[in-house]
Structure 1
Amino acid sequence: MNRDEARQLRRNPTDAERGLWRHIRLRQLGDHKFRRQQPLVPYIVDFACLEKRLVIETIDFL
């Protein structure tokens, strides 16, 4: 079920996720590979760099 939830979250990113992903996907944070909406049981994290064991969670403010 986490995979389906992660897929749905990737299809509907928040403004903060969209903005950060714009930089991450072009590898502007070094040459590190990040994944979006990565299931890490029991969570689904916004961004994860598995090589560096780094997780980034974004928060949207109104």
Structure 2
Amino acid sequence: MKITVNGTETEVQGDTLAAALDELGYGEAKVATAVNEAFVPATARDRALSPGDRVEIVAPRQGG
């Protein structure tokens, strides 16, 4: 299915946010996620995705 990940149209096979994260290489990474501008906590990443969903993945950055 086609979804948008961080502004880029992407084809994924997984039908949940967790499956898509695994497929995109973020499986065990500590990241923050949102679907269609709504925050999705790590405990709720079994949320189903639909074609056209907008997914944002943000990794924490250290700095000053």
Q: Same fold (TM over 0.5)?
A: no
Structure with the larger strand share = 2
Greater length-normalized contact order (CA 8 Å, ≥ 6 residues apart): 2
Q: Relative to total residues, which structure has the larger helix share, 1 or 2?
A: 1
